[in-house]
Amino acid sequence: MKDTDHWLASPKREEVFGPLGVTNIRTFVDPQNRNRVAVLMDVADMDAVMKFMETPAAAEAMEYDGVLPETMVMHIEA
């Protein structure tokens, strides 16, 4: 994460995930390392989200938000 405060204030999550049916988006910051952040969200169609994550629009949104793609980890509820 390049700038946690910018990321927290950014509207991009809602803008890009909202149209995919993603709801209840929540953000988290590691209190020991503010550059480690997390997003928890309800995803109705994981295939659609994963497909979107491979698009230039997703890359642009991550760049805007200061997300470092090489550090990103996705977890799915078991």
Give the distance from CA 35 to its chain's centroid.
14
The per-residue pLDDT for 78 is: 87
The model's pTM is 0.89
Q: 67, exposed or middle or buried, with CB in 10 Å at 0-12, 13-18, 19+?
A: buried
The per-residue pLDDT for 50 is: 96
Nearest to 43 by CA among 17, 73, 69: 17
The per-residue pLDDT for 6 is: 98
| Tens of pLDDT, residue by residue, the chain (78 residues) | 999 999 999 999 999 999 999 999 999 999 999 999 999 999 999 999 999 999 999 999 999 999 999 999 999 998
The per-residue pLDDT for 24 is: 98
| DSSP letter assigned to residue 4 | H
Which two structure tokens, joined as six digits, stand for 7?
A: 């990321």
